[in-house]
Amino acid sequence: MKMSAPSFVLPLVFLVLSTGVLRGQDDLRSVQEELRRRSLYFGDVNGRDSAELQEATKRYQKRKGFAATGRPDRETLKSLGLVPRSPNEPAPQELAWPAEPVLPSDEKIDSLAVAKSLHEETGIAPAAVVPKELAPRSSSARKTAAESNPLASAAVAADKRPANSPYIAPAELSRFASDYFAAMTSNDIKRQLKFYADNVDYYQNGKIDRRIIEQTLRRYQARWPNRRYTMGQQIQYSPINSRGEIVLTFPVTFTLKDGRRTVKGETHNRLAISAATLDPRIASISEQRVRR
């Protein structure tokens, strides 16, 4: 004869499963809170997995030198301080850098929040800076900007090349990159902004309006008021004919100071410069931390 399960078994199984689900939600909620504290996650703290949470986890893992899986594995949880180490367990093999963003690429930009802050300060409507694509400037505006740009003469030299030919002399490209990092060493925001296009593919944040970049730079400079950058000599150039751009890749060593701490390191940088216009500027920028 078939025996029936005791009446208390099913409720007990349900209780065990529910407890496991709640524990998993609590763990994810803790991860969300820690990543939000590090300016990497801006979603709801609800204990639910999401593409935004996975992307934030990847950013943190890259920052620490871990495998960027997007999943909160044990090493990641230990690094976040959410899982204790056993007495004889070594610390995670991670970069000994501060918890807050060190590099511009460490920080995920909440464009809407920055746009709202910009609106409070200047009155500019958030909708004016959040859209990815804005109307191009008039030809007269491009000409005015080109007259003050150090690359304008190289970009429009009268050699009868096609108007959309992405060509700038290597020496001028090197000078552009050198001038850019010299500007980034200063705390002169206006000097820095002149190198950026109106919309920039900015450190894996997608297309960002230059006014959002301005607010982001102000926060970054407040965090690291003393910065020094040194470009390596191994600069590579490659044109992207379809977009009229030239891509520069090169190493950069940096030193950041905030009065209490000093952080040193190296990155591999990529700049895409618009080269088929009267006003060459940075259209895309990215960097990758070099682990020594």
**Residues 155 and 227 reside in one and the same domain:** yes
Mean pLDDT of 225-253: 92
Same domain as 140, residue 13: no
- Whether residues 67 and 145 fall in one domain: no
**pLDDT band of 204, cuts 50, 70, 90:** confident
Residue-level length of the chain? 292
Amino acid identity, position 136: P
pLDDT-based confidence at residue 36 (cuts at 50, 70, 90): confident
Predicted pLDDT of residue 289: 83
What does the pLDDT average to over 259-277? 89
Q: Which 3 state secondary structure label does DSSP give 250?
A: strand
Domain enclosing residue 33, as ranges: 9-79
- Residue 256: count other Cβ atoms within 10 Å of its Cβ: 21
Give the rounded percent of residues in the chain with a pLDDT score beyond 90: 36
Task: Please check the confidence at residue 78 and state whether its pLDDT lies above 50.
Answer: yes
CATH number for the domain spanning 212: value is: 3.10.450.50
The secondary element (H helix, E strand) that includes residue 105 is: none
Q: Are 75 and 139 within one domain?
A: no
Structural domains counted in the chain: 2
Q: Is residue 73 part of a domain?
A: yes
How many CA atoms lie less than 13 Å away from 289 in the CB half-sphere?
23
Burial of 213 (0-12, 13-18, 19+ CB in 10 A): buried
Tell me whether residue 246 is in a domain. Answer: yes
pLDDT value at residue 74: 87
- End-of-domain residue from the set 79, 98, 122: 79
pLDDT tens digit sequence for 141-162: 444 444 444 444 444 443 444 4
Give the tokens for residue 85.
């180490």
Contact 272, 240 (CB under 8 A): yes
Together in a domain, 139 and 271: yes
85 domain-assigned:
no
User: Are 157 and 36 found together in one domain?
Assistant: no
Residue pointed to by tokens 């005791």: 6
